[in-house]
């Protein structure tokens, strides 16, 4: 990660705290942005928030003076806004000049919010920014044509999931179940549960968008591409 990395903390679940702490130790983000209730996760992780943004319905009013005293910029939006707090936080990270964004707390107990958070990776304004969702030791990110590397070790589990339609002309290198110019259909699960056999693995695609989910050290099941 470079010196234009932003850490965005949403209000979902934080799991595998020890693994997450190890990952954060090597991150050194330039900006830490809390999406409303993500502020409580920042406190739990011992992080000072640079920007708190959202409708602030998950923040106790008495907390705000303390946050401001610590140097946190508080950006309040009305509850009847058109964007989720996480979307606002991502756009703010882009406006600050972030070229890479790591998101924590995007996965939670509300299915609608979880799906919406994942699909935010496709937002046109984030197209030129490398955005990762961290969920414990797992990582999710998007690949568009022409593709790219999968930064996993041998034995790691990986899934390739088409988003917003089919992904065509998919070629893989270094995966147990190879693809050679094939189409992964958005209505099927063929790309789920592959495994890295050489590092770094690589994926090329001609059309579409792939969500890559990397699971370090976790063997997948027998289904896959």
97-115 pLDDT, tens digit per residue, is 999 999 999 999 999 999 9
- Beta pairing class for 147-150 and 138-143: unpaired
Query: Over 90: is that where the pLDDT of 18 sits?
Result: no
User: Residue 46: helix, strand or coil by DSSP?
Assistant: coil
Collapsed DSSP state (helix, strand, coil) of residue 211: strand
Which helix (DSSP H) or strand (DSSP E) does residue 25 occupy? helix 17-25
Q: Of 84, 90, 81, nearest to 133 (Cα)? A: 90
For residue 223, what pLDDT is reported? Answer: 42
| 42 closest CA partner among 85, 72, 5 | 72
pLDDT digits over 176-209, tens only?
Answer: 999 999 999 999 999 999 999 999 999 999 999 9
Say which DSSP state 32 is in.
Answer: E
Does position 217 have pLDDT exceeding 90, yes or no? no
In which region does residue 224 sit, left (phi positive, over 0), alpha (psi from -120 to 50) or beta (all else)? Answer: left
CA 168, CA 159: separation in Å to the nearest integer?
16
β-strands 194-195, 207-215: how paired?
unpaired
Q: What is the pLDDT of residue 137?
A: 92
Residues 135-182 have pLDDT tens digits of 999 999 999 999 999 999 999 999 999 998 999 999 999 999 999 999
The answer to whether 174 and 199 have CB atoms below 8 angstroms apart is: yes
**18: part of which helix (H) or strand (E)?**
helix 17-25
Mean of all residue pLDDT scores within the chain? 92
**Residue 225 scores a pLDDT above 60:** no
What is 102-167 written as a DSSP string?
A: EEES---S-HHHHHHHHHGGG-GGGTTSEEEEEETTEEEEEE-TTEEEE---TT-EEEEEEEEEEE
**CA separation, residue 90 to residues 97, 122, 132, 203 (Å):** 11, 12, 11, 26
Give the count of beta carbons closer than 10 Å to the beta carbon of residue 144: 14
């Amino acid at each position: 990660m470079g010196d234009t990395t932003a850490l965005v903390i949403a209000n979902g679940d934080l799991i595998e705290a020890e693994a997450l702490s190890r990952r954060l130790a090597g991150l050194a983000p330039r900006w830490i942005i809390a999406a409303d209730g993500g502020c409580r996760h920042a406190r739990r992780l011992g992080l000072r928030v640079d920007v708190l943004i959202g409708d602030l319905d998950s923040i106790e009013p008495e907390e705000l003076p303390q946050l401001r005293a610590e140097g946190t910029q508080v950006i309040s939006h009305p509850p009847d806004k058109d964007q989720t707090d996480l979307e606002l936080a991502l756009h703010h990270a882009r406006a600050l000049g972030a070229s890479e964004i790591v998101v924590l707390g995007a996965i939670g107990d509300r299915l609608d919010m979880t799906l919406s958070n994942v699909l935010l990776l496709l937002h046109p304004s984030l197209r030129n920014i490398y955005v990762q969702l961290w969920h414990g030791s797992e990582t999710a990110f998007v690949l568009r044509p022409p593709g790219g590397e999968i930064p996993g070790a041998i034995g790691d589990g990986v899934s390739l999931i088409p988003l917003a339609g089919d992904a065509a002309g998919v070629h893989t290198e270094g995966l147990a179940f190879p693809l050679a110019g094939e189409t992964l259909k958005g209505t099927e699960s063929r790309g789920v549960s592959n495994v890295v056999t050489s590092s770094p693995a690589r994926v090329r695609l001609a059309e579409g968008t792939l969500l890559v989910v990397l699971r370090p050290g976790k063997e997948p099941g027998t289904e896959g591409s």
